[in-house]
Amino acid sequence: MKKIFILIFASVTFIGCKQNDEYKKVDASQIKVEGSMNAELTAPPFVPKPVGDRPAKKLIVNMEIIEKEGEMADGVKYVYWTFGGSVPGSFIRTRIGDEVEFHLKNHPDNKLPHNIDLHAVTGPGGGAKSSFVAPGHEVTFSFKVLNQGLYVYHCATAPVGMHIANGMYGLILVEPEGGLPPVDKEYYVMQGDFYTKGANGEKGLQPFDMAKAVKEEPDYVVFNGKTGSLTGDNALTAKVGETIRLFVGNGGPNLVSSFHVIGEIFDNVHVEGGSLVNHDVQTTLVPAGGAAIVDFKVDVPGSLVIVDHSIFRTFNKGSLGLINVSGDENKTIYSGTQSDEVYHPEGGTIQTMPNETSAKAPKAVTLVERIAEGKSIYAKTCFACHQATGEGLPNAFPPLAKSDYLNADVNRAIEIVLKGKTGEIVVNGKKYNSVMTAQTLTDDEIANVLTYVYSTWGNSKKEVTPAMVKAVRSKK
Ligand SMILES: [Cu+2]
């Protein structure tokens, strides 16, 4: 009995030690600085060079606040307020014991005063009070970094929520003595939610919408300030065998992020950006005004998808990024599809989507009405898969923008929307082999949505009428 007790006690203490790693609190206030240097600042998705084994220094940060127009999504303009000209703002990399001399400059062309609250600062308002700066002014304040970890900084000028919602946030990293363990690639990814007067995708210059922000109903939830900041030519890259570290932040202002990378498992996560390291994690929670450091080794080639796993945000509001991994396959780790045979449950392979819009859709008669009506149908039914601007998703959903397949045969396109589609097709030279669900839409709705698709994104401008849809519907 006694033996068993000792055994249990011993194993509990053993596990206990193991989980606590070897965290030792250092009294950073006693660390002496040796010399000074200018901080390297980088725009996302890049980060400055690691601190390595450099001693603590006086680190001079020159940060300029710039208010400027940018693009939230294709054709959607937004006036961002930025730290250093980017959203999120410039990445600041320090080590424990550094004395940061912070120069905050408010560009003379800016309209508003701003300041900065750095969560890495021990002191009133994280520096906010001492850093309040009017347009055309520069303020200076200093602080010693006492705690290691990854910290958010943000503007804290009233109305605070609005300054953050316009993009005024970024990350400051405090590395431990000797630096973080080396990895092959490091990237900077920060989520934010945005509130525009127009609905998601509505073009033109979009002012900030305070009412939506108060209700916490964003039109956009994105990484690095805009949709597409980490896709297409902006996708992150890696090679098989490399270890990747992501410095992940969440500026909010409102939403909490369920940060996940589809196709990977985080080997290590600095939980909440602090010193506790968790291992083998699928999704890590990044609170508004919080951060996490995740790393993983990429073992097989392909596209990893960075998402907020509150997944409608990803497929409907923009929080989607890619890491394109190149290199050799490893069939032991991942086989790829080993067989694909036709599976016929009762009723066929194509499922039907329920649809409540059919009854109340108004009749469009002119081409302009058809396009307007079609646009709203697109936003309700097609958008989730083919994306806001019809570009589709690599390997999953074919593009409708400039689609040779679409433009080649209008009756075939009508049939696809009517009855769904499965089996291999080639669109703009790329193969797709997936399933499009049958859309339960009326003849009018199909005519309108297809007319809209044909009339936008460089397509053939073909008008589709209800009569044409009717003809295809009555075919066999
Ligand atoms: Cu501000």
Distance 23 CA to ligand 1 centre (A): 36
Measuring CA to CA, which residue among 79, 158, 153, 154 is closest to residue 113?
Answer: 158
- What spacing in Å lies between the alpha carbon of 88 and ligand 1's midpoint? 13
Q: How far is the CA of 163 from the centre of ligand 1 (A)?
A: 5
Q: Ligand 1 center to residue 81 CA distance, Å? A: 7
CA of 66 to the centre of ligand 1 (A): 10
- d(CA 130, ligand 1 centre) in Å: 14
Q: How far is the CA of 137 from the centre of ligand 1 (A)?
A: 14
pLDDT of residue 21: 55
Helix (H) or strand (E) holding 58: strand 58-73
From CA 263, how far away is CA 306, in angstroms rounded? 9
- How far apart (Å, rounded) are the C-alpha atoms in residues 216 and 194? 10
Tokens matching residue 63:
């940060």
239-278 pLDDT, tens digit per residue, is 999 999 999 999 999 999 999 999 999 999 999 999 999 9
Q: What is the 53 CA–ligand 1 centroid distance (Å)?
A: 35
- Half-sphere exposure at residue 201, Cβ-oriented, CA atoms within 13 angstroms: 15
Q: Is the pLDDT of residue 387 over 90?
A: no
Whole-number Å distance between alpha carbons of 288 and 292: 11
Percent share of the chain, pLDDT over 90: 78
Distance of CA 255 from the midpoint of ligand 1 (Å): 19
From 220-234, 358-372, 381-395, 397-411, the region with the lowest mean pLDDT: 358-372
3-state DSSP assignment of residue 61: strand
CA of 310 to the centre of ligand 1 (A): 28
Domains and CATH numbers, the chain: 31-178 (2.60.40.420), 186-326 (2.60.40.420), 367-474 (1.10.760.10)
Instruction: Tell me: pLDDT of 351 over 90.
Output: no
CA distance from start to end of the chain: 80
Tell how far CA 326 is from the center of its chain: 21
The residues that bridge with 433 in the sheet, in sequence order, are: 424
Residues comprising the binding site for Cu cation? 114, 119, 154-155, 163, 168, 309
- CA 136 / ligand 1 centre spacing (Å): 14
Whether the CB-CB separation of 81 and 112 falls below 8 Å is answered with yes
| 135 CA from centroid of ligand 1 (Å) | 11
Distance 48 CA to ligand 1 centre (A): 24
What pTM, to 2 d.p., does this model score? Answer: 0.68
State the pLDDT at residue 9.
47
Question: Confidence class of residue 23 from pLDDT cuts 50, 70 and 90?
Answer: confident
Q: Ligand 1 center to residue 158 CA distance, Å?
A: 8
Q: How much distance in Å is there from the Cα of 84 to the middle of ligand 1?
A: 12
- Cβ-based neighbours of 213, under 8 Å, separated by 6 or more: 161, 162, 165, 195, 253, 254
Choose among 262, 56, 65, 73: nearest CA to 176: 56
Rounded CA-CA distance 349/259 in Å is 33
Strands (E), 74-145: 76-83, 91-95, 99-106, 117-118, 138-144
Cα 352 off chain centre by: 31
Query: How far is residue 6's CA from residue 274's CA, in Å, rounded to a whole number?
Result: 34
Reading the block at residue 334, the tokens are 């991942």
Closest CA to 258 of 282, 222, 279, 284: 284
d(CA 322, CA 318): 12
State in Å: Cα 85 to ligand 1 middle: 13
pLDDT digits (tens, 9 = 90+) for 188-217: 999 999 999 999 999 999 999 999 999 999
Between 90-104, 180-194, 318-332, the lowest mean confidence (pLDDT) is in 318-332
C-beta separation of 267 from 295 below 8 A? yes
Known binding residues are 114, 119, 154-155, 163, 168, 309
Q: 67 C-alpha vs ligand 1 centroid, how far in Å? A: 9
Q: What are phi and psi of 367, to 5 degrees?
A: -60, -40
Asked if residue 107 has pLDDT above 90, the reply is yes
Report the C-alpha gap between 437 and 417 in whole angstroms: 8
What pLDDT sits at residue 331? Answer: 86
Q: What separation in Å is there between the alpha carbon of 251 and the centre of ligand 1?
A: 13
C-alpha 219 to ligand 1 mean position (Å): 21
Question: What local confidence, expressed as pLDDT, does residue 343 receive?
Answer: 63
Structure confidence at residue 13 (pLDDT): 43
How much distance in Å is there from the Cα of 152 to the middle of ligand 1?
A: 15
How far apart are the CA of 115 and the centre of ligand 1, in A? 6
Cα 49 to ligand 1 centre (Å): 28
In the reported structure, the alpha carbon of residue 2 is separated from the centroid of ligand 1 by a whole-number distance in angstroms of 64
